[in-house]
Amino acid sequence: MNSRERILAACERRRTDRPPISLRCTPEVWEALRAHLGVATDTAALDALDVDLRWIYLPFIGPAERSIPTLGGEGTDFWGCRMRGAQNEFNTYFEFAEHPLAHAQTVADVDAYAWPSLDWWDYSAIPRLIEEQNQTDRRAILFLAGGAFETPWYIRGMEQFLVDLRLNPDIAAAICRHVEEYYRRRAMLVLEAAGGWIDVVGSGGDVGGQSGMMLSPRVWRERIKPFTGRLISTFKQMGLKTFYHSCGSIVPIIPDLIEVGLDLLDPIQVGAAGMTPEALSAAFGDRLSFHGAIDEQELLPHGTPAQVYAETKRTIDILGRNGGYVVTAAHAVQGDTPVENVLAMLDAARDYRWH
């Protein structure tokens, strides 16, 4: 089977020749992997590791003053959010320093904001970016449309946005509406440019913490689900596979995500309440596929390669019992994770044989 066939089969809960694999890393880990593998680019590293799922990213061609990737540098992103750097001994991260709609008082204030243009992206680059990923095999291509919970709080500020959901629901809805419409329309332009070569459309937004959801399931259903749902159902109805990312414990809303058309849930933070492979497989394994679940909080940074290898195979036994599992870390691999542990995780998937 080729990579595309493996990912599509996993989304449909069908077994393949081997479990499909995916990989996301921080820049520091990509640098370490390139050095270890003796290659010059991240794509070459993915090819050397035979990673099945590939993400493509639109080049920005908009105004320089709003050109910093969200959470990817110091400066202002295309939404108008300003960020600053924050470092530890392993990674450089970027946190929000200014939320452009923090002081909006009315829906009219929200509507009057200088929202980004859809013309700020180079859609013509999409065929070339996909071709680069398909040099050594036909890969499954994922485009991340965006999300209708996180981006609104980026723009408004988390505390104020959560207050809005209770006390100013019209303002929250107006921000979500602008964001969801932008992401959906941009994704449609990407799909048009891709000419049928995109297989999975992703969306997301962290709504879970370690012990439970960040907001009540009722509020999520009333205020967020209509927008999140459109970023899933729109593409499901087009015959594409769908991917949704939320860290943390989100058990109460997983049935809602299935209802709106979700195929692949990410990243399966196994240490969060109710998110063990055993619990998820038992409750949802006949209706949903999984992407992630190899613990990035404790196992990958602190375990031995042998422990990572064994736990990866055990996780495949559980989540992949019917084929509905893509093997990868439970989020981007962080800089405190040894390269040997990344390789052990991927080796376990390549070596796995169905029982």
DSSP string, 33-66: HHHHHT-SSHHHHHHHTT--EEEE-PPB-S-GGG
What is residue 82's predicted lDDT score, i.e. its pLDDT? 98
Beta-bridge partner residues of 265: 244, 290
Q: What is the mean pLDDT of residues 132-155?
A: 98
Nearest to 340, CA basis, from 36, 4, 5: 36
Beta-bridge partner residues of 121: 60
Euclidean distance between CA atoms 4 and 14, whole angstroms? 13
Mean pLDDT of the chain: 97
Euclidean distance between CA atoms 290 and 243, whole angstroms? 9
If you ran DSSP here, which 8-state letter would residue 63 be given? -
User: What domains can you pick out in the chain, each with its CATH number?
Assistant: 3-351 (3.20.20.210)
What is residue 354's predicted lDDT score, i.e. its pLDDT? 85
Instruction: Say what percent of the chain tops pLDDT 70.
Output: 100
pLDDT of 52 > 80? The answer is yes
Q: Which positions ≥6 away from 253 have C-beta within 8 Å?
A: 207, 213, 217, 220, 221, 225
What is residue 183's predicted lDDT score, i.e. its pLDDT? 98
Q: Which residue has the tokens 């169905």?
A: 354
pLDDT of 211 > 80? The answer is yes
Work out the pLDDT band at 180, boundaries 50, 70, 90. Answer: very high
Q: What is the pTM of this model?
A: 0.97
What would you measure as the largest C-alpha separation in the chain, in angstroms? 60
DSSP 311-333: HHHHHHHHHTTTS-EEEEESSSB
Helix and strand tally (H, E) in the chain?
A: 15, 10
What is residue 170's predicted lDDT score, i.e. its pLDDT? 98
What does the block give as tokens for 63?
A: 């105004």
What is residue 355's predicted lDDT score, i.e. its pLDDT? 77
Nearest to 254, CA basis, from 209, 191, 208, 323: 208
Angle subtended by helix axes 158-167 and 169-194, to nearest 10: 110
The strand pair at 264-266 and 140-146 is best described as: unpaired
What is residue 76's predicted lDDT score, i.e. its pLDDT? 98
Euclidean distance between CA atoms 125 and 189, whole angstroms? 12
Euclidean distance between CA atoms 126 and 97, whole angstroms? 32
Q: pLDDT of 262-310, one tens digit each?
A: 999 999 999 999 999 999 999 999 999 999 999 999 999 999 999 999 9
pLDDT of 112 > 90? The answer is yes
Q: Which residue has the tokens 């093997």?
A: 327
Determine the 3-state secondary structure of 272 from DSSP: coil
What does the block give as tokens for 68?
A: 């910093």
